[in-house]
Amino acid sequence: MQRKTQETLAAQIHAFLAGGTTALADSVMPNPISEYTDPGRLGEEKATLFRRLPILVGHSSSCAQPKDFLAQELGDVPVLIVRQTDGTLKAFLNVCRHRGSRVTFEECGNRGSFTCPYHAWTYRSDGSLANITNADDFGDVDRAAMGLTELPVEERHGLIWIALTPGTSIDVEAHLGPVFDAEMAAYGIEEFAVERSFTTRAKANWKIIIDGFLETYHLAFLHRTTIGPHIRSNLAPFRPLGSNGCMTAVRTSFDRIRDEDVEAADIEPHLVHAYSVFPNTIIVWSGRHFEAWLVHPDGTDPGSSIVKVMVLGRRSEVEDPANDYWEKNWVVVTDTVLTEDMKVGQSIQQGFASGAQTHVTFGKNEPGVQHFHRMVQRAVAGR
């Protein structure tokens, strides 16, 4: 992050502390509950968001060597990503062209070909069809047209991004926009490695999970005994970055530099940046590690989602067996997001089904949540 941006954030934080306030939207925003419960709405979101925009899949180091592969379900789309011998990546639908089985059920590995477990058709790592079992029984097959269906894929900032519609294109730089793209470049995420990843299912709409990262209003209450004492509640600058955004949470340790000149103070150790990568990802920069939270709708149920968290650390720290930072960090992740936030998130979805109300209300003090939902609404409406 540029020093100038840090200083602007610090000046805002000083003003918020002095005024006992936070970043504020212009007005209160009612939001229809149907946006969390309507299967038709979920179908529109899949078509306009998940199938059109760049979707973050993972870190490049997870698929670094020639013939390394990753196989993932992104929502209800099975994808296969393979490192080619020339160092580039190719991505495919993990769907056999014979009768549609996955060509691999393994999540990752290294192999030069993929043999479908059903009838053993075989595909090369570049997706081309290498062999048809009992080929004579299939007549004159155009093998060149029967390779795995390719998807657009791009590596940028050490991360793998994919577009889930064949025949489309992908432009991560344009999606991030110049400010966000420059901030991501400055972090040097290429030099990080995956410390661990974890996937779970939540009985909550995918947007409820995202909402929880975009305001600090709840910290003093839901996280009263976990992170609440360490991060200020209801005090956070928010910057819209196109359809993306960044909420900056403030550690209570900021008090130590409160009397220092903004231009001289070492600000960054006292901040936590939560970037919303539209539509379905939150990247948290803690000052020492990243967490990427990747959230997908789970099938056609608007009340269910698949949540993956990927923790990234500097290689030297991740590979140090004596470093106990990671276990301590994982306890925080588990206690807060995976326990406290998930419990409330799932209760929210249940509450929606009860018919208690037709709308929820986003306060002026929740500008990040408001911005995210406005961007979803705009995209679904095709604006």
Site residues (CB under 6 A) for ligand FES? Answer: 96, 98-101, 116, 118-121
Residue 245 is encoded by which pair of tokens? 């955004």
Q: Which residue has the tokens 């390719």?
A: 150
- Number of residues that this document lists for the chain: 383
Q: Which is nearer to ligand FES, 119 or 201 (CB)?
A: 119
Give alpha helix (H) positions in 74-231: 172-187, 206-211, 219-222
Concatenate the DSSP letters of all residues of 81-116 into one string. EEE-TTS-EEEEES--TTT---S---SEEE-SEEE-
Least distance (Å) between residue 239 CB and ligand FES: 48
Least distance (Å) between residue 151 CB and ligand FES: 19
Q: Which is nearer to ligand FES, 98 or 175 (CB)?
A: 98
Q: Which is nearer to ligand FES, 70 or 96 (CB)?
A: 96
Q: Which is nearer to ligand FES, 1 or 95 (CB)?
A: 95
Give alpha helix (H) positions in the chain: 3-19, 34-37, 39-45, 172-187, 206-211, 219-222, 315-318, 325-335, 342-353, 367-380
Least distance (Å) between residue 318 CB and ligand FES: 37
Q: Give the residue from 196, 205, 278, 198 showing the smallest Cα distance to 242.
A: 278
Q: Which is nearer to ligand FES, 78 or 313 (CB)?
A: 78
Least distance (Å) between residue 367 CB and ligand FES: 49
Q: Which is nearer to ligand FES, 7 or 73 (CB)?
A: 73
Least distance (Å) between residue 7 CB and ligand FES: 58
- The b/e string for 345-369 (b: 16+ C-beta within 10 A; e otherwise) is bbebbeebeeeeeeebebbebbbbb
Q: Which is nearer to ligand FES, 130 or 185 (CB)?
A: 130
Least distance (Å) between residue 118 CB and ligand FES: 4
Q: Which is nearer to ligand FES, 101 or 197 (CB)?
A: 101
Three-state secondary-structure class, residue 184: helix
Residue 166 is encoded by which pair of tokens? 């064949």
Residue 375 is encoded by which pair of tokens? 């961007």
Spatial separation of the C-alpha atoms in residues 317 and 369, rounded to whole Å: 33
211: exposed, middle or buried (C-beta count within 10 Å: 0-12, 13-18, 19+)?
buried
Least distance (Å) between residue 137 CB and ligand FES: 12
Amino acid letter, 132: I
Least distance (Å) between residue 82 CB and ligand FES: 17
Amino acid letter, 340: E
